[in-house]
């Protein structure tokens, strides 16, 4: 145990008379681990493991306060008796680990994320910015009934032993809809002036305080900025904060950004945003809060930054969701001086994208997410240590290698390139995507810590492998780009056509000009749009074509907003429903896949293709008699989740 390297982050603080052991908090995040609106063991373990991992205060995912708030079967209900026993059990077990559990009270209002048959309840008849659904406008009596539902649900959670509740008044949900002049067009006691727009929130808060007492933590998450004209912006948020702080009812303030307009991109700022992108707003809110603690959050993923947030007065508490999804033991490792062991979060929003699609949350760099024993998980020792050869130093091979070595095996890794990382290393060279390098850098650190021998710059042969007398061989040799199947190229024009991987590796034809590049997108993943960004820096004109009716289908919604924003800002022409047909002397003909109409581009300097890949497995047939496992793209070309989770599983199997 070393001296605390982050003294401000790991100093105690008091909320409502309850002592928090440090400033690390888990903000609410939907996991979709519930089933039929009922709590599951995995739902519980997601919270319990982060308490075991050292966080001081954990906010549950959204808890529906009213039957009309049930957006889908994975939303937990708090307005009836159905979940009370499991809520009580979760609170007891979280508190036993030294953390406090806060329930987030939620009503989506007009939003229709997953429940198209639910009747949306609106403050005004403004259409939902995401679905364009027009809600039922609540009467004053209906508003009072929903406010009472918040109060009753808070009382239920108090009965279950929760330390407190947080009102979800951010991201365009019901409470924010009341607060914001952008969405509240009412002219009764609940709308008009700022004071009236806060009536709903203040009635709920006063009722909870009266029912649950002074020792019950009451927080609110609200907008620091909505990012829309006429909405809540930082100055307005400061004025709202000052009014609510003056009531002396709330014990902490937390701030989210954006709503369900295109500003939703701000809700989970990805790697294209600065680290701690919104902490200046939170610092201003801290001044407005008049001593009420403020939680800073948004793309905070490293202990050094979290320490600075507290030390320099940006926030009293630090909310880190995605960092603790990636590593449940973030706080424990940081306070014990083991920060290098923290699995890095690269803020590509993959996990958020899974939830947005209604799937259980998953994280490619954390195969044990939501499992019992997740926090500070370590591989179990092998029954019989042996010799393992891994061919391929991409993320799948690296994961298998370090896990196997940590279990006691002697592991040798062959890598054809001089550096580890494989295809992900290429992606790290693209504009704005450098943070993905943290994944393979971490894997290599863990591999070296456990004695993995690297033979880089060597293309392994079957003889090389057999010479090491391995007990098992792991093939992680990746995949090859596939030539576009619809494209015919006249002799002499082949050099104008290269794969997206080659474009990143600077393998551009020597004769290529810099006037017009066409990117054929049959991939729809982040790598391809990073290539588009790169081409936009290099060429006067870039055209992106895809056979699908839109782009970015394999990018989570929030980050896809950023993809469109960057491409349009750079002047990239996006042409959906098109595929390349022929290239002759720089003349490219593309065809509409639905109508058959042609579009001709003259003087094309470069055609770059991002297409489905073919597995690169050339060694299996030469390794008869050896136990061989394939990992990642070598088995079946897929994505980062499949590569890392597959490598993790094999590392635990061999």
CA 283 to chain centroid:
24
CATH number assigned to the domain comprising residue 32: 3.20.20.70
Q: How far apart are CA 648 and CA 641, in angstroms?
A: 10
Please give the pLDDT value at position 1: 42
Question: Same structural domain for residues 302 and 256?
Answer: yes
Q: How far apart are CA 267 and CA 259, in angstroms?
A: 7
3-state DSSP call for residue 490? coil
The tens digit of pLDDT for each residue in 591-614 reads 999 999 999 999 999 999 999 999
Question: Same structural domain for residues 97 and 46?
Answer: yes
Q: How far apart are CA 4 and CA 13, in angstroms?
A: 16
* Residue 562 included in any domain: yes
Question: Same structural domain for residues 526 and 645?
Answer: no
* Residue 374 included in any domain: no
| Total domain count, the chain | 3
* Low-confidence spans in the chain with pLDDT less than 70: 1-2, 113-117, 510-512
Question: Same structural domain for residues 584 and 606?
Answer: yes
* Structural domain containing residue 602: 483-611
CA angle 354, 58, 649 (to 5 degrees): 45
Q: What is the DSSP pairing of strand 479-481 with strand 613-615?
A: antiparallel
Question: Same structural domain for residues 162 and 34?
Answer: yes
* Residue 365 included in any domain: no
Q: How far apart are CA 197 and CA 180, in angstroms?
A: 7
3-state DSSP call for residue 22? coil
* Residue 582 included in any domain: yes
3-state DSSP call for residue 570? coil
Residue 590's beta-bridge partner residues?
580, 599
The tens digit of pLDDT for each residue in 172-198 reads 999 999 999 999 999 999 999 999 999
Question: Same structural domain for residues 598 and 515?
Answer: yes
Q: How far apart are CA 449 and CA 437, in angstroms?
A: 18
Q: Which run of H or of E encompasses 642?
A: helix 640-653
pTM to 2 decimals? 0.96
CATH number assigned to the domain comprising residue 518: 3.50.50.60
Q: How far apart are CA 432 and CA 395, in angstroms?
A: 20
Q: How far apart are CA 160 and CA 92, in angstroms?
A: 9
Please give the pLDDT value at position 130: 87
The sheet that has 497-499: what strands, in order across it?
A: 497-499, 606-610, 516-521, 541-545, 573-575
Question: Same structural domain for residues 432 and 494?
Answer: no
Please give the pLDDT value at position 508: 73
* Residue 627 included in any domain: yes
* Residue 3 included in any domain: no
Q: Which run of H or of E encompasses 629?
A: strand 628-630
Please give the pLDDT value at position 114: 63
Question: Same structural domain for residues 39 and 112?
Answer: yes
Tokens of 218: 């009451």
CATH number assigned to the domain comprising residue 407: 3.40.50.720
């Amino acid at each position: 145990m070393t001296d605390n390297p982050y003294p401000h982050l790991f100093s105690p603080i008091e909320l409502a008379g309850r002592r928090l052991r440090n400033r690390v908090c888990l903000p609410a995040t939907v996991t979709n681990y519930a089933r039929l609106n009922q709590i599951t063991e995995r739902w519980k373990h997601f919270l319990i493991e982060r308490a075991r991992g050292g966080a001081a205060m954990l906010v549950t995912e959204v808890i529906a306060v009213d039957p009309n708030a049930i957006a889908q079967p994975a939303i937990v209900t708090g307005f009836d008796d159905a979940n009370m026993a499991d809520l009580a059990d979760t609170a007891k077990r979280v508190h036993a680990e030294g953390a406090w559990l806060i329930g987030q009270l939620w009503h989506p209002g007009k939003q229709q994320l997953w429940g198209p048959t639910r009747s949306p309840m609106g403050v005004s008849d403004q259409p939902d910015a995401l679905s364009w659904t027009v809600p039922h406008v609540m009467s004053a009596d209906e508003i009072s009934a929903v406010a009472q539902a918040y109060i009753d649900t808070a009382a239920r959670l108090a009965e279950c032993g929760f330390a407190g509740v947080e009102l979800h008044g951010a991201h365009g949900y019901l409470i924010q809809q009341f607060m914001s002049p952008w969405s509240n067009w009412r002219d009764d006691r609940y709308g008009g002036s700022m004071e009236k727009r806060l009536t709903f929130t203040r009635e709920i808060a006063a009722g909870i305080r009266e029912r649950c007492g002074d020792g019950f933590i009451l927080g609110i998450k609200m907008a620091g900025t909505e990012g829309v004209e006429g909405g809540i912006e930082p100055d307005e948020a400061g004025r709202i904060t000052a009014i609510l702080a003056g009531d002396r009812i709330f014990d902490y303030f937390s701030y989210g950004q954006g709503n369900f307009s295109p500003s939703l991109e701000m809700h989970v700022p990805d790697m294209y945003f600065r680290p701690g992108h919104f902490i200046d707003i939170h610092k201003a809110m801290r001044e407005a809060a008049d001593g009420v603690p403020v939680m800073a959050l948004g793309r905070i993923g490293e202990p050094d930054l979290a320490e600075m947030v507290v030390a320099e007065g940006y926030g009293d508490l630090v909310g880190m969701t995605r960092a603790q999804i990636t590593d449940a033991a973030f706080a424990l490792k940081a306070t014990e001086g083991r920060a290098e062991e923290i699995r890095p979060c690269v803020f590509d929003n993959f996990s958020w994208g899974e939830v947005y699609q209604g799937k259980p949350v998953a994280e490619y760099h954390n195969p044990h997410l939501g499992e019992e024993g997740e926090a500070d998980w370590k591989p179990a020792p092998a029954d019989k240590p042996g010799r393992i050869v891994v061919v391929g130093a991409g993320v799948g091979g690296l994961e298998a290698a370090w896990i196997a070595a940590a279990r006691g095996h002697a592991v040798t890794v062959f890598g054809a390139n001089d550096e580890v990382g494989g295809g992900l290393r290429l992606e790290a060279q693209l504009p704005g995507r450098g943070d993905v390098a943290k994944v393979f850098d971490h894997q290599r650190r863990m591999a070296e810590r456990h004695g993995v021998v690297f033979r880089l710059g060597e293309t392994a042969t079957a003889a090389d492998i057999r010479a090491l007398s391995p007990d098992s061989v792991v093939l992680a040799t990746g995949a090859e780009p596939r030539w576009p199947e619809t494209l015919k190229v006249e002799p002499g024009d082949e050099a104008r056509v290269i794969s997206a991987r080659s474009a990143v590796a600077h393998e551009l034809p020597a004769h290529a000009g810099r006037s017009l590049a066409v990117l054929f997108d049959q991939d729809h993943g982040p790598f391809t749009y990073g290539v588009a960004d790169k081409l936009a820096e290099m060429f006067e004109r870039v055209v992106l074509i895809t056979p699908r009716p839109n782009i970015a289908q394999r990018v989570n919604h929030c980050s896809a907003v950023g993809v469109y924003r960057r491409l349009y800002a750079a002047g990239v022409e996006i042409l959906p429903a098109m595929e390349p047909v022929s290239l002759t002397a720089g003349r490219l003909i593309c065809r509409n896949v639905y109508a058959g109409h042609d579009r001709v581009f003259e003087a094309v300097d470069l055609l770059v293709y991002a297409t489905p890949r073919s597995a690169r497995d050339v060694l299996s047939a030469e390794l008869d008699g050896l136990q061989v496992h394939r990992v990642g793209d070598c088995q079946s070309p897929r994505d980062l989740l499949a590569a890392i989770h597959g490598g993790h599983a094999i590392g635990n199997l061999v």
